[in-house]
Chains A and B, each alone.
Chain A
Amino acid sequence: MGNYYIKRVISAFITILIIASLTFFLLQLIPGGPFTRERQLPAAIEERLNERYNLDKPVIVQYGIYMKGLLTFDLGLSYRILGTSVNELIAKGFPTSAIIGGLATLLIIIVGVPIGIISALKQNSTVDYIVMFAATIGVTVPSFVIATVIIYFFAGQLGWIPTFGNSKPLWWIGPTIAVSGYSISFVSRLPRSSMLEVLRQDYVRTARANGISEYKVIFKHAFKNALIPVITYVGPMIAAIMTGSFVVERIFALPGMGGYFVESVTNRDYTVTIGMTVFYSVFYIIMVMFVDIAYSFIDPRIKMDS
């Protein structure tokens, strides 16, 4: 068992290294340096800049410097926001994204999972149909539409929530709903189908036949197994939404990570782009790892060594 965890951590580490290298070389392929602009810089300045950012060295040396930095959690300097390191940018943007992402995750779990279970228990009832219809609609509407509709109606027309700002909890409502809208719909479908499957299993029938109360059957026997697809989805999703939704942060003018990422992409601030990709990937891979480990707690039948 312990052997498995060690193996899992090592493979995750290797994957992260591969991703970082891949991203690094991918962006090296882009023609033109980060300081190539419409207006030609004086040669001396450009030389100094290249020297400062190690761009005068061969690619392989740059790669070595970058990887060395990565191992010490140093993601380098931003090309555009002068004097700011990528670490600082992440430290600046991550709290905002994490608050919204955390709230959204809570909302998804608190709303999505019970909805799915209720509609599974009342299969083919009106409640089930309404919930599943709403979930289907929710999955088909892009998050930028949800976000703009929230801004338009609840912030603009009704004035219930502020359109932007980042100080009061009231303000977090809009982005949280916008971020979680798609996932709530998606998550509510997962426990429904798995619950339906589980409820047909023999052991549930046995439990019922033994006269165990319906409440116990559902929550003690069926619920755990119905949670597996939810965990599979929610794990990586947490990484995705905690590191900032590009779209929602843009619409609500949030100073979060997603905003910095998109900005770095449009500004050709490559170090920031790589740094944030790596940060996101690490987060993502760790979450996937947690999901794998969580399986073994929920369902002991899932073997760890396979």
Chain B
Amino acid sequence: MNDKYTFISREEKLDSEQTRKSLTYWQDVWRRLRKNRLSMGGLFGVIFILFFGLIGPSFREGDYSDQILDYSNLPPRLDIYEIEKDRFVYVTREYRVLETDEKGTLLGRIDQVYRDIPNRLLYFSDEYKVSLEGTVSGTYDYPGLLSSKIYYSDAWGIGLKDVSYPNGDDYVEVAYIHPDSPLYGLLIDGEQFDLSVIDSLEEVVLSSGDLQTGLTGDDGAEAMMDAFDNNSDLVEMTFRGEILTMDYSYGLVDPEDRLEGLEDVNIELNYKGRITMNVTDSVMNRLYPWGTDNLGRDLLARVMYGARISLFVAAVATLVNFFVGVLYGSVSGYVGGRVDNFMMRFVDIINSVPLTLYVILLMVLLREVVIDLTIFGHYFVLFRGQGGLGTIIIALGSVYWVGMARLVRGQVLGLKEQEFVLAARTIGVSNFRIILRHLIPNAMGPIVVSMTMMIPAAVFTEAFLSFIGLGLSAPLASWGTLANDALAGLVTYPYQLFFPATAIAITMLAFNFLGDGLRDALDPRLRKG
């Protein structure tokens, strides 16, 4: 016996058989798509946008079409001012004063505001009766009534702390200046000293250069403020019959403690000079993270809703393209001959016109169309062209199928010569069934790629149509209409364009990457990867 060769056991034999579950076409595509990082990024981008549009709006409290005119044109970041302790306001470009909290949640409009817009002045009063004056950009200066506790009182004058804004419109002015608070109105224990009341400020003597003497009343006050502005060294003035001299730091230099004992006195002061109030804080707009549009509608909700509309339009138009284009192309390719020639000439003619032009013409036509119906005296409108979703979908769907038709025809021309089609024909499968079951599924790869690429193209075209005013009409909002609306206020409110434009760009990117990856994954020539 030759013992060089022995039978192997059954287990061993099974073990040596290399078996792997064979992958279907689509499993293989998915496997290769997963390897492509960029297109997976695109896929996640697409999924994100879908979630953003479908689920996003339910996280927003208001509806996309809710208008709150008080809250119009709010930016995503608010520069707030602390007008008094723990009380914050945001002043809009239109000089509306909105109260916010520290974190930037809007609390409401502060009403009864007198707006002197030409002079950029704002006086508003609420229960606290604050009057404000201001340029809103950058620094913020305003006069207002302040109440204050004296925190020191000595030979140098009265210092203030815990400044708050009490009641009282009365314009109270006092001959007192302190470097930290350019005040010159004073109310001590209810007694008012007004600069217009001459006896409280009898004389202002300016030294150092500005030799103006004997000014009283408003003139005196003005001279004093000038001295203050010019950093004059010494100012002398008469106050309550006493001569007070201020040094350049505007403290009172009267050595006698005239004002001693004022610790317990409430003082109300009127700022007539300007205090530069800096932006206290720049905070997120909590209520509207992406700001609002010119009618006070929530921009985030609108962009989310716009995603729905834009993607819906794109998806339906793509589906129409898919059905019409695939049917047209496969019939043309499968039947061939004169029919094919005729059908393709028709496609060529449509294709020889820039498609955008036809979409525009169709939009012009369709927006005039109203299909109505009266049944038993009831009036129904089946289709109203003006600015509706249907119009734009029909316009896009009826034009863009030609590319798909050409593509499918090309595929079918190649496929119909293959043996499996012949086999199907031999066993008597109907032509329709051959197209549906054998040809189209085999051409599915390029079709899917073409569809993925068509969605961003449709989003683009829809945005473009809406942008030139042929698209949807209010309150419907697609990304294109949002961008169009933002155009009017672009210089002042650039964020209104930024968000919808970014949404369009991200969608385009995501679908493009996904489409590129799918093309690579579906191409049999690149199978080896």
The interface stretch among A78-86, A97-105, A171-179, A246-254 is A246-254
Chain A 256-298, CB-CB to B under 8 Å as 1, else 0, gives 0000001001101000010001001100110010000000000
**A236 in contact (CB, < 8 A):** yes
Contacting pair A281 B512 (CB below 8 A): no
Interface residue? A30 (CB, 8 A): yes
User: Would you call B505 and A281 a contact (CB within 8 A)?
Assistant: no
Considering the complex, which residues of chain A in the window 141-161 have a beta carbon less than 8 Å from any beta carbon of chain B? 141-142, 144-145, 148, 151-152, 156
Q: Per-position contact with B for A1-42: 1 when CB-CB < 8 Å, else 0?
A: 000000000000001001100010011011110000000000
Question: Which of A32, A148, A273 is the one whose CB lies under 8 Å from B497?
Answer: A148
Of B55-63, B299-307, B346-354, the stretch lying at the interface with chain A is B346-354
Question: A121-154 CB contact bits vs B (8 Å, 1 = yes)?
Answer: 0000000000000001101111011001001100
Q: How far is the CA of A180 from the CA of B348 in the complex (A)?
A: 27
Complex Cα–Cα for A215 and B504 (A): 42
0/1 interface trace, chain B 476-487, chain A, CB 8 Å (1 if under):
000000011001
- Max chain B C-beta neighbours (<10 A), residue from A139, A240, A251, A285: A139
Bound complex: CA of A162 vs CA of B241, how far in Å?
63
In the complex, number of A-B residue pairs with CB atoms less than 8 Å apart: 101
Give the size category of B's interface with A: 35 or more
Q: Indicate whether A273 sits within 8 Å of B352 (C-beta atoms), given known contacts A141-B505, A148-B497.
A: no
With a CB–CB cut-off of 8 A, which chain A residues contact B352?
15, 19, 281, 284-285, 288
Q: Does residue B468 face the partner (Cβ distance < 8 Å to A)?
A: yes
Of the stretches B86-94, B225-233, B359-367, the one at the interface is: B359-367
**B501 CB-CB contact with A under 8 Å:** yes
Is B468's CB under 8 angstroms from A277's CB?
no
Q: Assess the B509–A262 pair: CB atoms within 8 A.
A: no
Asked if B470 CB lies within 8 Å of chain A CBs, one says yes
A contact face: mostly helix, strand, loop, or mixed: helix
Binds A, one of B206-214, B277-285, B311-319, B459-467: B459-467
Please measure, in the bound complex, the distance between the C-alpha atom of A88 and the C-alpha atom of B111, giving whole angstroms.
56
- Which residues on B sit within 8 Å (CB–CB) of A26? 361-362, 365
- Other A-B contacts than A27-B365, A141-B504, 18 sampled, CB-CB below 8 A, are A30-B364, A30-B365, A136-B509, A142-B464, A142-B483, A144-B464, A145-B501, A145-B505, A152-B490, A239-B354, A246-B464, A247-B468, A250-B468, A265-B360, A265-B470, A268-B364, A277-B353, A280-B354
Chosen A-B contacts, 18 in total, with CB atoms closer than 8 Å, are: A27-B361, A31-B368, A140-B456, A140-B512, A141-B504, A142-B463, A142-B467, A142-B483, A142-B501, A144-B483, A152-B490, A268-B364, A273-B364, A277-B353, A280-B354, A284-B354, A285-B352, A288-B352
A→B interface (CB under 8 Å): 15, 18-19, 23, 26-27, 29-32, 136-137, 139-142, 144-145, 148, 151-152, 156, 236, 239-240, 246-247, 250-251, 262, 265-266, 268, 273, 277, 280-281, 284-285, 288
